[in-house]
Each structure stands twice: as structure tokens, then as C-alpha cells.
Amino acid sequence: MKKTYLFTPGPTMVPPEVALAEAQPMIHHRTPEFSKIFVEVTEGLKYLFQTKTCNVYTLASSGTGGMEACVVNILSKGDKALVIRGGKFGERWAEICEVFGVKVIPVDVEYGKAVEPELITPLLRQHRDVKAVFTTQSETSTGVICDISAIARIVKEESAALMIVDAISSICVHPLLMDDWGIDLAVTGSQKGFLLPPGLAFVCVNQNAMKAAEKSDLPKYYWSFKKMQKNLKDATTPFTPAVSLIRGLKVAIDMIKEEGIENVWQRHARLAHATREAVKALGLELFAGEYSSNVLTAVRSPNGLDTSAFLKKLRDKYGVSLAGGQDELKGKIFRIGHMGYVNDFDVITAISSVEKGLSECDYPVEIGKGVARAQEILLGEEEKVAVNTL
């Protein structure tokens, strides 16, 4: 008998309560019944983004759709944008900008490292006409977390540029404080820490960003913030929403609120710490080192390990899905996701599967050593792991 365990960077595992809510009979989206649910989830999303002043728009799309919406609503052709590129998703910001004729000023960061916020200062002073700074909070391709609060502070001190954050995997895992940190736009997706399947993106937009939207000349129809705002006032969306996913979102937000967002951050910090320490106990190396995100643990593939065969064996033989590296990191790392609907025993399962898979791929590993280290940390409840606010 084979069970399925999903420890990927997304999609992530879905609670049965959420799945059952999505399985309810369909309702029409232009009804008071749907509008009531939509108002509740929109207010709940503000709690997750930690804002009282921004609007949150719900899009039927992947996170990348939300990223494109950010670009086309606030910029015009020929505008300059500073883009931090430290992995596949930072690079995606640049690719979207370039498609629409926005001039990209890149800040390239070595894979596995986080950008030093101070590096942004001279670039903003050199390019006074930069309209936006695009950043990624948790770079899931490399397992790196970035110091968004420090970057936002520098952007506000040195320029009039808008601060835009890809928080697709980090919301509900790491703190992201829209109002307190002065973030203008942030985007996230349903399939990461939100306890949901793929299919929804959420964009949090402040008044500075909406003012920029009034001047933007980039083409947009489906992605128009102005249309979204107009319909939000009527408790609906401009186009047909993903009704079943939004019903599931209502349940997911209720679950997160019941746990408390600070406790959710703490849970992820604790599980990530246990995973990282277990990996090190097995003699393996963390790819992101001190910059490691609580979203996932990126592990350097040891010499002699066929990473693809290792991951295939875990998935096909045991039903355990981890993720490999992308693009230039393919075959060089593997990634253990621990976000969303994950608890202590899920981490134990993930680590034991790594031990078993390595052993069956003839890589020398002391069976039980990683699990023992994870258990040691997870049993030590009196010792709280600091929540990484980066």
C-alpha cells in the first residue's frame, strides 16, 4: 500500500476541511450568497498581508498572473525598474518587465545568497528615475529568504519608487507587514502557505500603487486593477471567479485565524529549524546556509548521488514527493518543502524518506540519525525557535 506525501515547494498538501468546502454544490457568483463569502475572504486576506489600509484583489490565476498584473498596472513603456535577481523567480520579474518594454536595471545575486540591502542604495542614487523596485521575499528555487523590511526602508529613503514584493511562497510562512514596512504591492498564490490547491493569486495594493495605476499605459484587460477595485466595492470580481476555490479559501483563512498568524509563523520556523538540523546531522550541506527560508530546505546533492534517480525512487516507490533544482541547479540540489498543512510528524516522514532514499541509492548514511535530531528539536518545546522576520 502506497500513500502520497507532498513535500514540494508547491502545490502543497490540502486539509480535508478545505477540500470538502471546495466539493460543495456550485453556486452562482452574482448572488448575495457568494458576495457574503467574498467579503469575508477579502477581509481575511488583509489579516494575512497584515494591512488595514490596502486593498486585496483575488485573481483566478497562478502567482505569475499576479506578478504580471503588478507590472502592467503600475508601469508604462520605457519606465525603469530595479529588479533583484537571485533565482528563477527574481528573474521572472525581469522577464515580465522586458516583455512589456520596461527597462530593467538588474541586481544580480549569487544563487544561494540573499541580496545585501545596502547594494541597492548606490543604484537608486544613480538611477533617480526608477519607478519600481521588484523583489522576492522567499526565492523557492534556491531556498533563500531576503530582508524585505530593510530593502523597503532603503527604497523609501532613497527614492520615490514603488516597492513590489513577490511573496508567493512566503505569506503565512514568514512575516510580511505591508503597512509597517511600507510595501506598495505584494503578490501571493493559493498553493503555498494558504492550505489551498493552485488556481488563485492575491495582490495587495496600497494607495501609492493605485495612483500609479492611473498613469500606466501598458496594455491590460483581465488584469486591470481599476476594474478589480470598481467590482470590489460591489463585493464581487470583474470576471467569473474560481467559486469553489474561494469557498475553500474561506475555510483556510478561518483555520489560520484560529491558529493565529504569529503562531503560524512560529510553527513554520520550528519545523524548518528541525528539518535543517536533521539534514546537517546526516552530513549533508544546506544550499542557502544562513539565508535559509522557512518555506523549504534546499540541500546540496552530495557527490556521487544521482539526484533525479533519488527523487524518482521516493516518488514512484514510496509516494513521497520532494523537488529537484531548476535550470542551472538541476541535479545539484533537492528541496524539502515544509509549508502550509504541515506538522511535526510530516517533518519526521520527510527526513526518514530522505534517509531511506539515500540508502537505497547507495549513498552512505546513518539511518535514524536525521530523524533523531529532528525529534530532539521537536520534543524540546520549552525552547522556542526565533521567527525569522527576514
Domains of the chain from N-terminus onward:
5-10+260-379 (3.90.1150.10), 16-258 (3.40.640.10)
- CA 4, 7, 12, 15 dihedral sign is positive
**pLDDT of res. 380:** 87
Q: What count of other Cβ atoms lies within 10 Å of the Cβ of residue 166?
A: 30
Rounded Cα–Cα distance for residues 368 and 241 (Å): 47
How far is residue 363 CA from its own chain's centroid?
32
Q: What count of other Cβ atoms lies within 10 Å of the Cβ of residue 190?
A: 30
Rounded Cα–Cα distance for residues 148 and 136 (Å): 8
**pLDDT of res. 389:** 44
**pLDDT of res. 123:** 97
User: Of 93, 42, 46, which Cα lies nearest the Cα of 72?
Assistant: 93
How far is residue 327 CA from its own chain's centroid?
19
Beta bridge partner(s), residue 187: 166, 203
**pLDDT of res. 1:** 79
pTM of the model: 0.95
- CA 245, 249, 255, 260 dihedral sign is positive
Provide the residue count of the chain.
390
Residues 206, 211, 214, 220: what is their CA dihedral angle, to the nearest 10 degrees? -30
pLDDT by residue for the chain (390 residues), tens only, comes to 789 999 999 999 999 999 999 999 999 999 999 999 999 999 999 999 999 999 999 999 999 999 999 999 999 999 999 999 999 999 999 999 999 999 999 999 999 999 999 999 999 999 999 999 999 999 999 999 999 999 999 999 999 999 999 999 999 999 999 999 999 999 999 999 999 999 999 999 999 999 999 999 999 999 999 999 999 999 999 999 999 999 999 999 999 999 999 999 999 999 999 999 999 999 999 999 999 999 999 999 999 999 999 999 999 999 999 999 999 999 999 999 999 999 999 999 999 999 999 999 999 999 999 999 999 999 985 455 555 544
